[in-house]
Amino acid sequence: MLSEPSTTEIPLRFRGAERSAMSYSYFSRVSNINAFLLFVCLSLCVPLTSSASSSDTLQSKYDVFVSFRGADVREGFLSHLIEALSLNQIDFFVDYNIPKGYQISDALLRAIEVSSIYLIIFSENYASSSWCLLELVKMVECSEKYGHMLLPVFYKVDPSDVRHQRGSYGEAFVAHETEYNLTTVQTWRFYL
């Protein structure tokens, strides 16, 4: 059962497909997720328009693939989201069991390919994870190829900081430039 929302509100902004009438919302700290869940459910019911050819389509296994930076959202927002998705019988993929620092697996990349909607929870430290950025690239590529829906959620971050790679996002890319080749970092910047 979902907890009652607290009185403290945190701005949570998200952008969906062009058909979405909902472009900005506030969810409570304890996550009154019903409005968001309704949006996801409606998105699943509306056929996605795509320029992908019929030979480029995949059979979806998951309705939603959730991409997140664990330390930022695991104990709060994510746990409430997962509870709501489960209660409403929405098939989703969340990877809990990958230890920090491990390589992104083929199974995870396949889970991205066979998901209909990509829920990307941009949080303060999302861009500091090379794994999250690799997921992001794969999700955008699949969205373009198969017509899957990208649904970014801005959790405790300003969307313009993400878009323009300022603040923690800018700092993360400076750090990545010392660890990864320039082409990889430029690809991540482009897809973000």
Contact of 30 with 5, CB cutoff 8 Å: yes
Is 179 a catalytic site residue? no
CB 68 within 8 Å of CB 96 = no
φ and ψ of 150, to 5 deg: -100, 130
Cα 65 from Cα 184, distance rounded (Å):
23
**Residue 77, both tokens:** 């927002």
> Beta strands 149-155 and 115-122: pairing type?
parallel
**Identified catalytic residue from 135, 141, 144, 171:** 135
Catalytic residue positions, numbered: 135
